Structure 1
Amino acid sequence: MTYFERLTDGLQLHEVAMFILGGLLFIVLLFLIVLFALRKRQLKPLLLFFLIPIVMLGWPSIAKIQLNQEGLTLVNNLKELEKHPDDEALQSKVEQSIQVLEEKNVNAPDKLADIARAKYLLGEDKGALETINKIPEADKAVLGVAELQRAIRATQDLERKLEKAKASPTPESLDILKITKTQIEADYKFSEHVRLQRYVNESDSLIKRNR
């Protein structure tokens, strides 16, 4: 993303327009002040007009600050939810932050990565993958979403095999589940994903009960 795209990311069209026009008006007024000063004309009437660009620049700036604060809130709540994945109050807060950010149509790769992690933790695998697809390929490795994408696929695969083994705990289904579980456990990068580890633990318990 360009600097301007990052600066205006999440702002509504009218807020972007206010930001641009406010900046242009501010520059024009500065030019007029210099011109008036050179011609030794009174500056006081002109100074009053500075209230207009200040308001026009201030409105989208406040909106941007609130948006960044919402993004920070999501990150903090996400960290807590990873520690307490069954906390319904935290789940509700994370869902609310996701809704706010998506309504603002944020496109910053780091914010999209946070949204994808949040959706995955909430069990919204499809939504998480759709969000990941919005992130440029060059940013995926840097932000760790390529690894998240692998974890989501692994979670879906293990969950599917776990449900099949629960419904029909035959030696064949349990062996398939055990092989998949062992492969996931061997990949240390997957250990940080709470949902995946939960399915690993459930699989382990099911296999032990049906020995």
Structure 2
Amino acid sequence: MNAIDGIFDGLFGYERLMLICGFVLFVFALAAITLMIVQRRDFKAAMLLLVFAVVLMGFPGIAAVKFNQGMVEIDHLREQPAPPTDPQQKQQYERTLANLEQRVAGNPQLQAEVADGYRAIGEVDKAYDLARSVLATKPAPAVRQTLVPTLTAKLEQAAAALPAPAPAPSGSAAAPVAPSPSAVAAPAPAGAAPAATSPAREEHLQEIATVARELQMQSQAAPLPANAHVALANAYVKLGDTQKAAANVEAAKRADPHVVLNPALKVALKPPPADNGH
């Protein structure tokens, strides 16, 4: 069944129908020609039928070859450490990915690979939108694992775009703001003015919490790489959950003992100085 599915990968419904009809017609034409040769009859009409069957199979066959070439190209792109810097090359990849995205509808594994292709060229939002549509189908563990780089990139993007907390106006009392359950601000230093949570910051915090939850759930399917745990640690620091942040730092170190942590993360997770009673 998997081999048959592989033949039809990347083909639209009408192309699959053409391929099936062409194959059936091809077999029928071969049988007719064989019978006519045995009976010493003229088989020119059957030859025309054979040619028509080959033409019928040819169009979807060419489409399948182009699709496979496109997927190989995207697989190579996904292995690159950084997005392409040439604008024309990036546009070419975008066209290829847009074409592949249309052809992989209904195949979660291939959709996840295309989403990762968008991530590889720096189109993180497109990658995440496609990844969310795949996650909505409750895919297999292998598919979830393919989505990890996309979710990691989106989490890093969301955390980097988080607006800084707005300080309260000097000399005025700040209105109390009730923190949301998923977006608890980190404690402010002593003597600092209270920060007001703006709607834009609250929205970004909710987005960070959503993506972090989606990425953390992938660890149920397979262990996450070190960079994914680092992204989660940074996200949980933004959300004020230092316990989960510390747990992900430890998981990152287990996955890669040489993992590099950014200074801000180290400072955020540094234990407070001991109180000696002075």
Task: Compute the TM-score of the two structures, normalised by the length of structure 1.
Answer: 0.68
- The alpha carbon displacement at 1:151 in A equals 3.7
Q: Which residue of 2 aligns with 1:137?
A: 139
Which of 60-69 and 46-55 deviates more?
46-55
Asked if 1:56 corresponds to 2:59, the answer is no
Q: Which residue of 2 aligns with 1:111?
A: 110
Which of 169-178 and 41-50 deviates more?
169-178
> SS where residue 187 of structure 1 aligns?
helix
Q: 2:252 and 2:23 mapped to 1: Cα distance?
A: 50
- Specify every segment of 5 or more residues in structure 2 that has no aligned partner in the other structure, as ranges: 168-184, 190-235, 269-278
Q: Which residue of 2 aligns with 1:27?
A: 27
Mapping for residues 1-211 of structure 1, pairs under 5 Å? 2-80=2-80, 83-85=81-83, 87=85, 89=87, 91-121=90-120, 122-124=123-125, 126-133=128-135, 137-138=139-140, 140-141=141-142, 144-145=145-146, 147-148=148-149, 151=152, 155=156, 159=159, 163-164=162-163, 166-167=164-165, 172=187, 176-177=237-238, 179=242, 182-188=246-252, 201=262, 203-204=264-265
- The alpha carbon displacement at 1:37 in A equals 2.4
- Specify every segment of 5 or more residues in structure 1 that has no aligned partner in the other structure, as ranges: none
Q: Would you say the 8 A contact 1:112–1:131 is kept in 2?
A: no
> SS where residue 159 of structure 1 aligns?
helix
RMSD across aligned C-alpha pairs, in angstroms?
A: 4.1
**Structure 1 pair 201–114 and aligned structure 2 pair: CA distance change class (3 A):** farther
Over residues 170-202 of structure 1, what are the superposed CA-to-partner deviations in whole Å (9 max), with x where a residue is unaligned?
86279934836544433339989xxxx99x748
Letter of the 1:67 partner, please give it: F
Q: 1:153 and 1:37 mapped to 2: Cα distance?
A: 65
Q: 2:85 and 2:254 mapped to 1: Cα distance?
A: 22
**Structure 1 pair 189–2 and aligned structure 2 pair: CA distance change class (3 A):** farther
> SS where residue 14 of structure 2 aligns?
helix
Letter of the 2:124 partner, please give it: G
Q: Would you say the 8 A contact 1:78–1:94 is kept in 2?
A: no
Q: 2:143 and 2:51 mapped to 1: Cα distance?
A: 42
Over residues 85-123 of structure 1, what are the superposed CA-to-partner deviations in whole Å (9 max), with x where a residue is unaligned?
473635444432321112224444432221222344532
Q: 1:50 and 1:202 mapped to 2: Cα distance?
A: 70
Letter of the 2:53 partner, please give it: P
Letter of the 2:102 partner, please give it: E
Task: Compute the TM-score of the two structures, normalised by the length of structure 2.
Answer: 0.54
- The alpha carbon displacement at 1:2 in A equals 4.5
Q: Would you say the 8 A contact 2:22–2:56 is kept in 1?
A: yes
Over residues 4-35 of structure 1, what are the superposed CA-to-partner deviations in whole Å (9 max), with x where a residue is unaligned?
33322322233222211111111111221222
Q: Would you say the 8 A contact 2:18–2:56 is kept in 1?
A: yes
- The alpha carbon displacement at 1:206 in A equals 9.0
Number of residue-to-residue matches in the alignment? 196
Identity of aligned residues (%): 19
Q: 1:94 and 1:191 mapped to 2: Cα distance?
A: 32
Q: Would you say the 8 A contact 1:181–1:203 is kept in 2?
A: no
Q: Which residue of 1 aligns with 2:200?
A: none
Q: 2:254 and 2:136 mapped to 1: Cα distance?
A: 23
Q: Which residue of 1 aligns with 2:233?
A: none
Q: Would you say the 8 A contact 1:106–1:112 is kept in 2?
A: yes
Q: Would you say the 8 A contact 2:111–2:134 is kept in 1?
A: yes
Q: 1:47 and 1:143 mapped to 2: Cα distance?
A: 49
More helix by share: 1
Q: 1:37 and 1:62 mapped to 2: Cα distance?
A: 32
Which of 4-13 and 69-78 deviates more?
4-13
